[in-house]
Amino acid sequence: MQLLHGIHLAYCTNIHRGESWAETMAALESHTLEVRNRVAPHEPYAIGLRLGAEAARSLLDRQTRLVFQRWLAQHNCYVFTINGFPYGQFHGTRVKEQVFQPDWSTSTRVEYTEALFTILADLLPPGLSGSVSTVPGSHKELVPDDDHANLIRKNLAAHTAWLARFADRSGKDLHLGLEPEPLGWIENTAESIALFNSLGHGEDIQRCLGINYDTCHFAVEYESPATALAAFSEHRIRISKLHLSSALKLTPSSASLKLMESFTDEVYFHQVIARREDGLLERHRDLPVALASNPLRRGIEEWRVHFHVPLHAPPQDLLDTTADHLIATLDVLAANPSLCQHLEMETYTWEVLPRDLRAASVEDQLEREYLWTLTELRKRHLAP
């Protein structure tokens, strides 16, 4: 939906199962339209579209795309952003490190992302910019040497040059957002800036390559939104999209760690970053690894866990969330509404949430997230 200052808000449809275009459309019909009827029945409704590679191949067909455009017009919906992070299956099977593959060292990732922009440019309403979010290059464990890293840089630079030419031909403002994630090849502000410095700050880079700032991910890194976003601005790095999301945080104790066992699953990575009393950070690749690391040893004062929890989830006795990081990010946006025009709520974990955090239906959860988000945006004069 369109907010104030040219800002648009959607939820990411990666919360729904679906790899083929038929499955994706079925989810839009059964879930997205229901949410739309609850939260914005009488205004144009934005869709944050997740397209895996299989669905993207189908939608590259001009006739298939035309049918979808007619569907969007019929239901007064529009697409301004696509989640291009997960290439393959994203629900119901082990995802974990596979979500980073193929990474940006491969032609497969490049071609997939080009396909997404080809689709998006055709779907965009006149006058709107279009964003695609993507993996942070790779995962640290999947980049074995400098040759691999240099290939990632080479492909990112080549794709950005392609995107600049494509944007000029289409007359659209199109931009790719790298999404830093704990233990990603780039995972925080400093590593992101170092990458952009290595790519240079030419016009194509400034216009067509940016950062998808996920508030869950940066909170897990113990970053300050004001400091991080100011640093990106100082280095002329575009904020392509803001992912509105919350992580878990806790003080390790026997009781809180026992409770955290209910958050382990075999589908997604839940990286843990522990902060010691001396301020040093310890990284664990996944929640089971962190739980087995003798976390009650002296000197650990806090855990932050990469587990996307509902935005409206209240603090519990033993577990808190990083909603404060999300709210602080909205404060920065309120002070500078031109910072970013694309907002996307991204709590894709509904199927693996413990039952006490899971709403009765996915539509109920999304409706509550919209209400929470719109309330916070209105407090900051960012939404009507």
In a domain, 254, yes or no: no
Residue 34 lies in a domain: yes
Supply the pLDDT for residue 294.
Answer: 85
Q: Give the chain's residues under pLDDT 50.
A: none
Q: Which amino acid, 242? A: L
pLDDT on residue 283? 96
As a whole number of angstroms, the distance between CA 73 and CA 1 comes to 14
Would you state the pLDDT for residue 79? 98
13 in any annotated domain: yes
Cross-strand pairs, 343: 9, 242
Tens-place pLDDT, residues 238-284: 999 999 999 999 999 999 999 999 999 999 999 999 999 999 999 99
Residue 273 included in any domain: no
- pLDDT given for residue 195 in this prediction: 98
Place of tokens 């809180």: 256
**DSSP designation for 249:** E
Q: CA 277, CA 381: separation in Å to the nearest integer?
A: 38
Confidence (pLDDT) at 299? 82
- Which pLDDT does position 90 carry in this prediction? 81
pLDDT of residue 296: 87
Q: Is residue 255 one of the residues assigned to a domain?
A: no
Q: Is residue 241 part of a domain?
A: yes
Angle in degrees, CA 166, 338, 85, rounded to 5: 50
| Dihedral angle, C-alpha 316, 320, 321, 323, nearest 10 ° | 90
pLDDT of residue 163: 98
Q: Per the structure, how many domains does the chain have?
A: 1
> What CATH number did the domain enclosing 61 receive?
3.20.20.150
In a domain, 356, yes or no: yes
**C-alpha distances in Å from residue 342, one per residue of 22, 46, 60:** 27, 11, 24
Closest CA to 15 of 370, 348, 280, 365: 348
DSSP string computed for 41-108: TTS-EEEEEE--HHHHHHHTSHHHHHHHHHHHHHTTEEEEEEE-S--S--SSS--GGGGG-S-TTSHH
d(CA 274, CA 247): 13
Domain range for 30 is 8-247+317-379
Query: How high is the pLDDT of residue 140?
Result: 97
- Looking at the domain assignment, is residue 307 inside a domain? no
pLDDT of residue 312: 95
The values of phi and psi at residue 54, to 5°, are -65, -45
